[in-house]
């Protein structure tokens, strides 16, 4: 089948080679019969799951050794798009050889990651990320049938979007992995917020504990803090002079937060970094004092010396601190 028969070239290129291969040639599509399982003295589990949000459905077959709880064989039938077929095939493969208890820990993130050609490039375009979500639910359903318990008893994740069955952990990982900055991007990648929209922000038809706007804000803040720590660590290792301006400012702020700012705040003041300018001989850090520190006699003597000494020790001996 020619690539352009179904999709434009640019869209087709958004799929990994693994996905495009498994769309047409899945390895584990089919069924396992009661007779086949009984011939091996194993137990057959058949679980169905349908995603109302997109119309896709999957039937999962497990042949389980009752003595060890190991899934010795697994197959699937998928009623949906090519991406759903590829995702179901990989999900099925991930189950084989695991115990039922281990298989329950497989998530849609694991499925999508296994479909990648390389660790840094998503396997599918954003609008198809939801296809791997079915794996999370059908596995839980199969495990519940095998163990004789409600599938919800396996729910260790906090589900934020009930429509697309997207968990808090998944949202945080997808935001970080793809450097997402908007709610629209989150919806493109996960389908969260794409249906009833109650999970986007307060005010929808159903009150929720977690909202996408808050998750995005908190995750982005965490990402920024991680970058600041990384920049500070890099500066401590002697790489400060090779950093970008933004990295230098973040590294300086991180050191100020750790060693100086608390004392300024105790005296009713604070400071901010305005600019960093480098020459062959010096790295000039321009700061502005705030609150009680602005105009304080110590700000031009002892306080300034403390700030400069800290930055020289932690980041670079070429630093000069200049208040403006």
199 tagged catalytic: no
Domain that holds residue 251: 243-323
Of 277 and 231, more confident: 277
For residues 88 and 23, what is the distance between their CA atoms, to the nearest angstrom?
10
131 tagged catalytic: yes
In the three-class reduction of DSSP (H, G, I as helix; E, B as strand; rest coil), residue 184 is classed as: helix
Q: Choose from 118-132, 253-267, 269-283 the range with maximum mean pLDDT.
A: 269-283
203 and 81 within one domain:
no
pLDDT value at 98 more than 80: yes
Give how many domains the chain has, as a whole number: 3
What pTM value is reported for the model? 0.51
30 and 132 within one domain:
yes
122 and 185 within one domain:
no
309 and 261 within one domain:
yes
Considering 239, 256, 275, which residue would you say is the last residue of a domain? 239
Using only the alpha carbons of the chain, give its radius of gyration.
27
For residues 310 and 321, what is the distance between their CA atoms, to the nearest angstrom?
11
Considering 215, 239, 263, which residue would you say is the last residue of a domain? 239
pLDDT value at 4 more than 80: no
99 and 21 within one domain:
yes
Of 131 and 75, more confident: 75
What is the rounded average pLDDT of the residues 118-125? Answer: 84
In this prediction, residue 51 has a pLDDT band, given cuts at 50, 70 and 90, of low
Closest to 259 (Cα-Cα) out of 319, 324, 317, 308: 308
116 and 20 within one domain:
yes
Q: Which of 54, 161, 199, 293 is catalytic?
A: 54
pLDDT value at 285 more than 50: yes
Of 234 and 29, more confident: 29
What CATH number should be reported for the domain holding residue 267? Answer: 3.30.300.130
pLDDT value at 78 more than 60: yes
What is the rounded average pLDDT of the residues 308-313? Answer: 92
Q: Which of 95, 131, 161, 293 is catalytic?
A: 131
Q: Do 77 and 29 form a contact (C-beta atoms < 8 A)?
A: yes
pLDDT value at 1 more than 60: no
173 and 138 within one domain:
no
263 and 231 within one domain:
no
> What is the torsion angle, in degrees rounded to the nearest 10, for the CA atoms of residue 315, residue 316, residue 320 and residue 324?
-30
98 and 51 within one domain:
yes
**Tokens linked to 62:** 């497990």
Q: Do 174 and 189 form a contact (C-beta atoms < 8 A)?
A: yes
Mean pLDDT of the chain: 86
Task: Give the per-residue pLDDT at 70.
Answer: 98
Among 37-51, 97-111, 152-166, the least confident range: 152-166
Considering 154, 187, 216, which residue would you say is the last residue of a domain? 154
What CATH number should be reported for the domain holding residue 26? Answer: 3.90.1010.10
What is the rounded average pLDDT of the residues 252-277? Answer: 89
182 and 90 within one domain:
no
232 and 204 within one domain:
yes
For residues 250 and 52, what is the distance between their CA atoms, to the nearest angstrom?
45
Q: Do 95 and 110 form a contact (C-beta atoms < 8 A)?
A: no
pLDDT tens for each residue of 18-33: 999 999 899 999 999 9
289 and 174 within one domain:
no
């Amino acid at each position: 089948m020619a690539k352009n028969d179904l999709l434009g070239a640019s869209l087709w290129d958004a799929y990994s080679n693994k996905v495009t291969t498994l769309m047409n040639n899945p390895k584990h599509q089919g069924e396992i019969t009661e007779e086949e399982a009984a011939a091996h003295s194993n137990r057959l589990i058949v679980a169905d799951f349908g995603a109302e949000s997109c119309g896709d459905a999957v039937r999962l077959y497990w042949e389980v050794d009752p003595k060890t709880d190991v899934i010795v064989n697994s197959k699937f039938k998928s009623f949906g798009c090519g991406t759903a077929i590829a995702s179901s095939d990989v999900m099925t493969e991930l189950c084989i050889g695991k115990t039922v208890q281990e298989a329950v820990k497989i998530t849609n993130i694991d499925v999508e990651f296994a479909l990648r050609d390389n660790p840094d490039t998503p396997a599918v375009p954003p609008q198809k990320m939801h296809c791997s979500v079915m794996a999370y639910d059908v596995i839980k359903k199969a495990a519940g049938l095998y163990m004789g318990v409600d599938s919800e008893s396996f729910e260790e994740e906090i589900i934020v979007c009930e429509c697309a069955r997207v968990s808090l952990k998944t949202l945080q990982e997808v935001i970080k992995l793809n450097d997402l900055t908007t709610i629209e991007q989150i919806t493109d990648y996960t389908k969260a917020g794409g249906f009833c929209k109650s999970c986007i922000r307060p005010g929808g038809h159903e009150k929720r504990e977690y909202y996408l706007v808050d998750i995005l804000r908190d995750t982005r803040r965490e990402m920024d803090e991680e970058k600041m720590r990384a920049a500070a660590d890099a500066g401590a290792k002697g790489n400060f002079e090779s950093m970008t301006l933004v990295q230098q400012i973040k590294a300086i702020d991180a050191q100020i937060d750790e060693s100086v700012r608390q004392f300024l705040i105790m005296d009713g003041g604070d400071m901010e970094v305005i600019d960093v300018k480098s020459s062959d001989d010096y790295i000039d850090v321009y700061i502005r004092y705030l609150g009680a520190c602005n105009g304080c006699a110590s700000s031009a003597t002892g306080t300034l010396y403390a700030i400069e000494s800290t930055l020289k020790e932690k980041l670079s001996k070429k630093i000069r601190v200049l208040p403006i």
